[in-house]
């Protein structure tokens, strides 16, 4: 029975570790995305905007809360970025962030 318990604990530890890495990668993706958007829409206080975007990710599970925040800010600024381009940029930044987080781990 000890072997089963050890395997269970190992799986739980791996799941927790993977979840932590994904959380870090998503936060880093949000930061990259916020910096890109801040430049695009002419935000003066980039650090404050980064904080806003990161905080928006805690509204609900998934990426839709961040997407809604970013797309609303783009529209309010009168800028134009298609949904396809915005989602592609989110995916690109997430891939970069995952690689960065994994290289640091």
Instruction: Find the mean pLDDT for residues 76-104.
Output: 93
pLDDT of residue 17: 82
Q: What is the pTM of this model?
A: 0.83
DSSP category for residue 57: T
105, 30, 104: which is closest to 73 by C-alpha?
Answer: 30
Helix (H, G, I), strand (E, B) or coil at 62: coil
Bigger pLDDT: 36 or 6? 36
**Element at 34 (helix H, strand E):** helix 2-41
Domains of the chain plus CATH, in order, are 2-104 (1.10.790.20)
The Cα 63–Cα 16 span in angstroms is 20
pLDDT of residue 1: 58
Structure confidence by residue, pLDDT tens digits, 43-63 = 999 999 999 999 998 888 888
Least confident of 2-16, 22-36, 89-103: 2-16
Tokens found for residue 89: 């940029």
């Amino acid at each position: 029975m000890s072997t089963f318990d050890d395997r269970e604990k190992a799986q739980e530890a791996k799941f927790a570790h993977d979840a932590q890495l994904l959380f870090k990668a998503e936060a880093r993706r949000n930061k990259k995305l916020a910096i890109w958007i801040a430049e695009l829409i002419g935000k003066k206080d980039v650090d404050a905007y980064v904080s806003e975007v990161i905080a928006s990710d805690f509204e609900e599970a998934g990426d839709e809360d961040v997407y809604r925040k970013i797309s609303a800010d783009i529209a309010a600024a009168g800028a134009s970025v298609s949904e396809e381009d915005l989602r592609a940029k989110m995916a690109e930044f997430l891939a970069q962030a995952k690689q960065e987080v994994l290289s640091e781990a």
